[in-house]
Amino acid sequence: MSGLRFAFLTTFYPPYNFGGDGIGIQRLARGLVRAGHHVTVIHDADAYLSLAKGPPPAGEPEPDGLEVVSLRSRLGVVSPLLTQQTGRPIVHGPRIGRLLADGAFDVINFHNVSLVGGPGLFRYGEAIKLYMAHEHWLVCPTHVLWRKGREVCTGRQCLGCQLHYKRPPQWWRWTGLLERELRHVDRFIAMSEFSRDKHHEFGFPREMDVLPYFLPDAAAEPPVTAGESPHPRPYFLFVGRLEEIKGLQDVLPSFAGEGEADLVVAGDGEFGAELRRQAAGNPRVRFLGRVAPSDLGAWYRHAVGLLVPSRCFETFGIILLEAFRQSTPVIARRLGPLPELLAASGGGETFETGPELEAAMARLLQDRGYRDQLAQAGRRALETLWSESTVVPRYLDIVRAAAADRQDAHVLTTLS
């Protein structure tokens, strides 16, 4: 092997994952392998199985050059609970230490480490170390800056917030453990400029590079070809977990009564039963439940537009890229990084109120030329800003900069 050896440490990794961060990590790992490197992913299966309501779905085979190590223990839920409470890899620490020592890695990339090891994991290994902030865990015990289940967080009320969510308070956050362990990490990466700025607003002391998510190039993952629509009427699409913070409840009133277009919802979650109750008896709202990624492309492709009404501070918005891939415009709430992404792409509109949302939907329905203009702009932006061939080299530039700081001749020579 002529490339570098990367170790990815993360709590969740497909199929042992719930949200988009695991998919983003998988895409980066596969992209590095396609670029000639080797990646070992170490993830905590105990954490997923402790939170899931059953075993994970069947996963896809990984390519040669990508090894996945699933951490399991006989203690089950006790293992991630100990990490959550102490901020250290109590149960799996010895094995992680051996894996990192035996792998002779050039780069260790920490992802979502909240339950696989916490900040105590940062001292493990001797390689160049990166941290990617897929969530706001570095500054928020509940990861999402959604205060007490009702509003975006504008100031710390961490103890009361953790109690509201019925989570054991993380006392280590008041001991300075995180701040002390940050010194072991060479570079920190935010997924958007908004997320970087939000980390600093909440007191994160280190500089952060910005590196977005991406989609594989067409050669690795071709787009859906045109075909018959999977729904009999024009429709807008929602894709994501059915949780209160995703804001779907704010969209449902716009589909009440008669209308030219329907709402199709792909996804499920703890708030799903309440959303179905709110939409009961409305023939214009269709819930698909969980949809396999391989089947989602057709739903994106034929939608009039993708609706992204998130109430919380996302770190990015990977579903926007999925929509752009299929030449589908986006209507997103004017919050978090979503305006940043739409301004960069020209691939959609933003809204704050119900009337603004309805006006934007009407424009896409009634003006096909305008809709196509947004769709083409989004597709172009995906190829120039958020494609594998664009983002993976930027990631390697960050590795190169960290290697220069360390004067790591091997890494610099390999990447030259």
Give the pLDDT band of residue 223 (cuts 50, 70, 90).
low
- What is the model's pTM? 0.93
Provide the pLDDT for residue 1: 55
Give the pLDDT band of residue 198 (cuts 50, 70, 90).
very high
Q: Which has the higher per-residue pLDDT, 118 or 149?
A: 118
Q: pLDDT tens digits for 10-30?
A: 999 999 988 788 999 999 999
Q: pLDDT tens digits for 93-112?
A: 999 999 999 989 999 999 99
Question: Closest Cα partner for 298 from 390, 231, 347?
Answer: 231
Q: pLDDT tens digits for 236-265?
A: 999 999 999 999 999 999 999 999 999 999
Question: Rounded to an integer, what distance in angstroms lies between the CA atom of residue 398 and that of residue 404?
Answer: 10
Per CATH, the homologous superfamily of domain 5-214+387-414 is Glycogen Phosphorylase B; (3.40.50.2000)
Give the pLDDT band of residue 199 (cuts 50, 70, 90).
very high
- Domain range list for the chain: 5-214+387-414, 235-385
Q: pLDDT tens digits for 305-361?
A: 999 999 999 999 999 999 999 999 999 999 999 999 999 999 999 999 999 999 999
Give the pLDDT band of residue 222 (cuts 50, 70, 90).
low
CATH 3.40.50.2000 holds for 235-385? yes
Question: Rounded to an integer, what distance in angstroms lies between the CA atom of residue 319 and that of residue 321?
Answer: 5
Q: Which has the higher per-residue pLDDT, 224 or 135?
A: 135
Give the pLDDT band of residue 185 (cuts 50, 70, 90).
very high
Provide the pLDDT for residue 52: 87
Segment 120-140 shows an average pLDDT of 96
Residue-wise DSSP of 353-412: SHHHHHHHHHHHHH-HHHHHHHHHHHHHHHHHHSBHHHHHHHHHHHHHHHHHHHT-HHHH
Between strands 107-110 and 66-71, the pairing is unpaired
Q: pLDDT tens digits for 203-217?
A: 999 999 999 999 999
Give CA torsion, residues 326, 328, 333, 335, to 10 deg: 50
Give the pLDDT band of residue 60 (cuts 50, 70, 90).
confident
Q: Is the pLDDT of residue 225 over 70?
A: no
Give the pLDDT band of residue 275 (cuts 50, 70, 90).
very high
Q: Is the pLDDT of residue 193 over 90?
A: yes
* Measured CA angle at 206 (ends 99, 185), to 5 deg: 15
Give the pLDDT band of residue 162 (cuts 50, 70, 90).
confident
Q: Side by side, which strands form the sheet with 235-239?
A: 285-289, 262-266, 235-239, 305-308, 330-333, 348-351
